């Protein structure tokens, strides 16, 4: 594995830990950018990846400030940490040993994609020759995210009941504010019923599972793989390799790990109170898979466009994680461990689907999505 190269696409948490004296600060600061990121921006003629750009990555980019997903995943693997102490799993060795899986876990928040060279963003800090991701072009990433948030709010107000973004828009816009919010266990728009959101999530999970167990070719166009209505979301000439590894050559031979990481991200987000509401767990086992305990059923999905970012972000922190793992069983760590166990067993989708149905069971299939308690 080319560790130096892979750092270009990861938010390398262990650098952040090493750079700060205080454990309380360690998860809210910038991870050092890799030499590859610096070389890319330099060759592209944009030398703005400097101290200010690094500060932006660590302090101003929503949803990539705190490595909660990484800690959950490492705890679900082989890290032994007491509930409420999940951050202890973030060791240099563990992160190095699981870099590609953690890249996949981070991917839905920071997916790499190419900017439109024919019509690039009218932003001085955006270089269309460099793959867009937070570490390579932090100022551009922040500017685009801000534009997506502003545009989504305007479109939601003018045309309620439909996604703010869809095919043809940048992946960053669609995954956080548009039709691909199911990456994060969220509805595409206010009013979308829970059963529709769950159906899209299941389609996505089946696709990811096929890549994870190597039954879905990563070189076929996504529109041709025959999974649900996925062709409507990716109608163009995009393969799984394009989707998950544009500009990131180091992860391409291990896209099975990337796919599992992306699935874990969706699962873990469903336990965040900013993404979905869950009822208390009943103590029951999964009906079709009794070796696993059933999490609390989902009562409602939320959509992001109407939420206040700072209120949302408060639920994606270690404090919020600790409250969940200290008070719930099965917890988000237990649910992540279940999917990892099935993956290690090379279980077919017909088996993994049973656990999906249990982990994402709905209390009220017709419940409409909204912003929840996260709007002013």
State the pLDDT at residue 114: 93
Lowest mean pLDDT: which of 65-79, 121-135, 146-160, 312-326?
A: 312-326
pLDDT at 16 over 60: no
In a domain, 372, yes or no: no
How far apart are the C-alpha atoms of 68 and 61, rounded to whole Å?
A: 15
Whether the Cβ atoms of residue 183 and residue 108 lie closer than 8 Å to each other: yes
State the pLDDT at residue 156: 86
How far apart are the C-alpha atoms of 289 and 345, rounded to whole Å?
A: 14
How far apart are the C-alpha atoms of 363 and 9, rounded to whole Å?
A: 38
In a domain, 364, yes or no: no
pLDDT at 27 over 50: no
How far apart are the C-alpha atoms of 73 and 368, rounded to whole Å?
A: 30
How far apart are the C-alpha atoms of 331 and 26, rounded to whole Å?
A: 24
User: How many CB atoms are located within 10 Å of the residue 63 CB?
Assistant: 21
pLDDT at 142 over 50: yes
State the pLDDT at residue 316: 76
- Reported as type and span, the H/E element at residue 353 is helix 349-359
Opening angle at CA 67, ends 192 and 249, nearest 5: 90
How far apart are the C-alpha atoms of 297 and 131, rounded to whole Å?
A: 39
pLDDT at 345 over 90: yes
Opening angle at CA 238, ends 233 and 241, nearest 5: 120
Instruction: Count Cβ atoms within 10 A of the Cβ of residue 161 and give its class: 0-12 exposed, 13-18 middle, 19 or more buried.
Output: exposed
Query: Where residue 95 falls among pLDDT bands split at 50, 70, 90?
Result: confident
Buried b (16+ CB within 10 A) or exposed e, 231-251: eebbeeeebbbbbbbbbbebb
pLDDT at 240 over 80: yes
How far apart are the C-alpha atoms of 195 and 365, rounded to whole Å?
A: 5
User: How many CB atoms are located within 10 Å of the residue 17 CB?
Assistant: 20
In a domain, 365, yes or no: no
Instruction: Count Cβ atoms within 10 A of the Cβ of residue 199 and give its class: 0-12 exposed, 13-18 middle, 19 or more buried.
Output: middle
State the pLDDT at residue 20: 31
In a domain, 316, yes or no: yes
State the pLDDT at residue 185: 96
Whether the Cβ atoms of residue 64 and residue 328 lie closer than 8 Å to each other: no
Q: Convert the pLDDT of each residue in 261-290 to its tens digit.
A: 999 999 999 999 889 999 999 999 999 999
User: What average pLDDT score do residues 15-38 get?
Assistant: 36
pLDDT at 39 over 70: no
Whether the Cβ atoms of residue 307 and residue 274 lie closer than 8 Å to each other: yes
In a domain, 374, yes or no: no
pLDDT at 354 over 70: yes
Q: Convert the pLDDT of each residue in 326-337 to its tens digit.
A: 999 999 999 999
Calculate the average pLDDT of the chain.
84
Whether the Cβ atoms of residue 103 and residue 253 lie closer than 8 Å to each other: no
Percent of the chain with pLDDT over 90: 59
Domain, as residue range, for 320: 3-359
State the pLDDT at residue 96: 83
User: How many CB atoms are located within 10 Å of the residue 299 CB?
Assistant: 14
In a domain, 369, yes or no: no
- Check residues 67 and 22 and name the one with the higher pLDDT: 67
State the pLDDT at residue 305: 73
Q: Convert the pLDDT of each residue in 222-238 to its tens digit.
A: 999 999 999 999 999 99
In a domain, 370, yes or no: no
Opening angle at CA 84, ends 78 and 86, nearest 5: 35
How far apart are the C-alpha atoms of 332 and 135, rounded to whole Å?
A: 28
How far apart are the C-alpha atoms of 369 and 278, rounded to whole Å?
A: 13
How far apart are the C-alpha atoms of 307 and 62, rounded to whole Å?
A: 13
CA distances from 51 to 5, 64, 139 (A): 21, 18, 11
- Check residues 340 and 310 and name the one with the higher pLDDT: 340
pLDDT at 9 over 50: no
Number of domains in the chain: 1
In a domain, 278, yes or no: yes
Q: Convert the pLDDT of each residue in 149-169 to its tens digit.
A: 899 989 988 888 899 999 999
pLDDT at 124 over 70: yes
How far apart are the C-alpha atoms of 60 and 52, rounded to whole Å?
A: 11
How far apart are the C-alpha atoms of 352 and 130, rounded to whole Å?
A: 37
State the pLDDT at residue 43: 56
Lowest mean pLDDT: which of 1-5, 163-167, 213-217?
A: 1-5
């Amino acid at each position: 594995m080319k560790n130096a190269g892979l750092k270009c696409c990861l938010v390398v948490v262990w650098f952040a830990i090493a750079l700060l004296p205080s454990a309380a600060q360690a998860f809210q600061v910038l991870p050092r950018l890799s030499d590859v990121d610096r070389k890319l921006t330099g060759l592209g003629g944009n030398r703005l990846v400097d101290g200010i750009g690094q500060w932006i990555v660590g302090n101003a980019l929503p949803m990539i400030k705190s490595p909660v997903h990484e800690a959950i995943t490492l705890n679900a693997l082989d890290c032994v940490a007491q509930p409420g102490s999940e951050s202890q799993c973030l060791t240099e060795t563990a992160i190095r040993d699981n870099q590609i899986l953690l890249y996949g876990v981070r991917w839905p928040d920071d997916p790499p994609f190419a900017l439109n060279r024919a019509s690039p963003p009218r932003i001085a800090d955006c270089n269309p020759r460099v793959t867009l991701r937070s570490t390579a072009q932090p100022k551009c990433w922040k500017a685009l995210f801000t534009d997506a948030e502003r545009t989504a709010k305007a479109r939601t107000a003018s045309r309620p009941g439909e996604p703010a973004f869809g095919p043809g828009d940048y992946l960053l816009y669609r995954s956080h504010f548009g039709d691909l919010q199911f990456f994060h266990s969220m509805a595409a728009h206010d009013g979308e019923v829970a059963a529709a959101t769950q159906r899209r999530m299941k389609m996505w999970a089946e696709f990811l599972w096929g890549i994870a167990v190597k039954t879905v070719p990563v070189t076929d166009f996504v529109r041709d793989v025959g999974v649900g209505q996925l062709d409507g979301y990716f109608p163009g000439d995009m393969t799984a390799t394009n989707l998950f590894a544009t500009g990131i050559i180091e992860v391409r031979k291990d896209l099975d790990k990337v796919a599992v990481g992306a699935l874990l991200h969706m699962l873990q987000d469903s336990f965040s109170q900013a993404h979905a509401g869950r009822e208390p767990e009943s103590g029951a086992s999964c009906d079709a898979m009794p070796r696993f305990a059933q999490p609390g059923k989902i009562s409602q999905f939320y959509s992001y466009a109407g939420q206040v970012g700072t209120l949302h972000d408060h639920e994606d922190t270690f404090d919020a994680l600790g409250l969940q793992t200290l008070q719930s069983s099965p917890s988000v760590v237990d649910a992540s461990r279940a999917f990892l166990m099935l993956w290690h067993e090379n279980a077919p989708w017909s088996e993994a689907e049973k656990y999906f149905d249990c982990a994402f069971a709905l209390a009220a299939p017709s419940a409409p999505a909204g912003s929840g308690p996260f709007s002013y």
